[in-house]
Amino acid sequence: MQFEETLNKKVNEVNNIISAFLPKEETLAKTVIEAMNYSVNAGGKRIRPLIMQETFKMCGGTGSIAEPFMAAIEFIHTYSLVHDDLPAMDNDMYRRGKLTTHAKFGEDMGILAGDGLLNYAYETMINSMSGDGLTFDEIKRTVNAARIIAEKAGIYGMVGGQTLDVYLTGSPMNEEQMDFIFRLKTGALIEASFMAGGILAGVSANTIEKLEKAGRLVGVAFQIQDDILDVTSTTEILGKPVLSDEKNNKTTYVTLYGMEKAKADVKAFSGQAVELLKETGDNEFLIELVKYLIHRSK
């Protein structure tokens, strides 16, 4: 079976897992729940839960202990997109060809849907910790996985990176600032996905460090490739406007370092990430997924 066929099959499986954890659209607050579910069901590659699932398998994990955490990290990623699309942020009316959450439900429900998804992610993780049949060691793993996800999603992770990115909008950016944004805004949840998969499988602290570093390299390379595509691709292939960074006067990896270094760094970082994953375990699909993400054309 070709990689993309396998990918589509696995994404469908992940979608089924996520759907099982979505809240029921009931009670007098069902409007915000409808907005939450609309946001999650709007589509996407499900990269973060997929990375977590495949890392869990690579590290010898079995059973369904990772499933609530896969759903939770997708809820967190989705909330960040819902808030990114708001008028106060990027003011986008469409995402993946569909109306954004605030465009469909109103700005107030867009804010509340994002808030709801973030809180529901933590509810989902915490509820899994009291599941029947978990050993004391498994409960410790779930607590540690939840801690990592919370940290990587917060002010020392995604929110921190997004804060600097927003603060510097329209202003020049130096190397330190760009590295901070790339590592946190883009890379933190990817790091969390690799790390949580390993933690839930019960691997050593040394292996978790390798997974964190691999995730960081993947996240940075992914963002560099995004900057490259904004210059080299077309709207038809990319599925979104090109040259948007230039129009918005935004400093990118390409404008700061040049195209030649940007392409070389994507290759170098992806190679380092693959080597770290090979040292950790055996999962050919995960290796191919990393290459697919980093060297994508859209």
CA distance 35 to 109: 7
Domain of residue 128: give its range.
3-294
**Dihedral (C-alpha) 86, 87, 89, 92: value to the nearest 10 degrees?**
70
Q: What is the pTM of this model?
A: 0.93
In what helix (H) or strand (E) does residue 238 lie, and over which residues does it extend?
Answer: helix 235-238
CA distance 53 to 64: 10
- Kindly give the confidence (pLDDT) of every residue in the chain, 298 residues in length, as a single tens digit, with 9 standing for 90 and above: 699 999 999 999 999 999 999 999 999 999 999 999 999 999 889 999 999 999 999 999 999 999 999 999 999 999 999 999 999 998 889 888 899 999 999 999 999 999 999 999 999 999 999 867 899 999 999 999 999 999 999 999 999 999 999 999 888 999 999 999 999 998 999 999 999 999 999 999 999 999 999 999 999 999 999 889 888 754 444 444 444 455 455 788 998 999 999 999 999 999 999 999 999 999 999 999 999 988 877 6
Q: What are phi and psi of 10, to 5 degrees?
A: -70, -35
Q: What is the pLDDT of residue 55?
A: 98
Q: What is the pLDDT of residue 67?
A: 98
Angle in degrees, 0-180, between the axes of helices 3-21 and 47-58, rounded to the nearest 10: 100
Q: What is the pLDDT of residue 249?
A: 57
Residue range 54-109, pLDDT digits in tens: 999 999 999 999 999 999 999 999 999 999 999 999 888 988 889 999 999 999 99
Cβ atoms 188, 161 nearer than 8 A: yes
Q: How far is CA 174 from CA 220, 252, 255, 258, 277, in A?
A: 16, 10, 11, 14, 31
Q: What is the pLDDT of residue 238?
A: 43
Q: What is the pLDDT of residue 88?
A: 93
Where residue 287 sits, what CATH number does that domain have? 1.10.600.10
Of 84, 25, 19, nearest to 46 by C-alpha is: 19
Which pair of tokens denotes residue 58?
């690579």
Q: What is the pLDDT of residue 8?
A: 94
CA distance 164 to 181: 7
* Total number of residues shown for the chain: 298
Instruction: Name the domain count of the chain.
Output: 1
Q: What is the pLDDT of residue 295?
A: 83
